[in-house]
Amino acid sequence: MPLVRNMPPKIKIVLVMAQERRLPLLDALESCGIEVLPVGNCNEARRTLEAQPVQAVVTDAVLHDGDWRRVLEIVEQGRRRIEVVVCSRLGDPKLWLDVLEQGGYDVLVQPYQREEIKRIVEAAAARSYIRPPAQARSHKPNAARVAVAG
């Protein structure tokens, strides 16, 4: 009888990004073996999060009907154990600090690098699994990361 290993559960995320911008990131996420539920705005994100169990949310910094802060609010209102990763066109240290201070997990910067995407999304999903529900989401950035950012 063949040996059966316990495979970790497949990561499922919501990608909140306008359709015209999401293809490079969607391809990279799927090439990492991550199941992606793509939506185009905050309202679609809310509906999807209410209907689907996911381990993380990856969102564009700016959306047609809001921004990453609104997505973070939607996740918090659902009282789910879900980390939020923000995508940005620019490597902006202020955005990165804002995201961390307000409870987001991390920032992905274009051009997207597959290994960086995989590392950040897997870590966010793992944290989502272990974080108790309704835990305060504001984790302060550590001193080393703050020093690098700015």
Region 12-149: CATH code: 3.40.50.2300
Per-residue burial over 57-90, b if 16 or more Cβ lie within 10 Å, else e, is bbbbbebeebebbbbbbbbbeeebbbbbbbbbee
Q: Is the pTM of this model over 0.85?
A: no
Q: Residue 142's pLDDT is what? A: 44
The answer, yes or no, to whether residue 147 has pLDDT greater than 60, is no
End-to-end CA distance of the chain: 56
What Rg, from alpha-carbon coordinates, does the chain have?
15
Q: Residue 149's pLDDT is what? A: 46
Q: What are 8-62's pLDDT values in tens digits?
A: 568 999 999 999 999 999 999 999 999 999 999 999 999 999 999 999 999 999 9
Q: How far is CA 113 from CA 25, 92, 118, 139, in A?
A: 9, 17, 9, 25
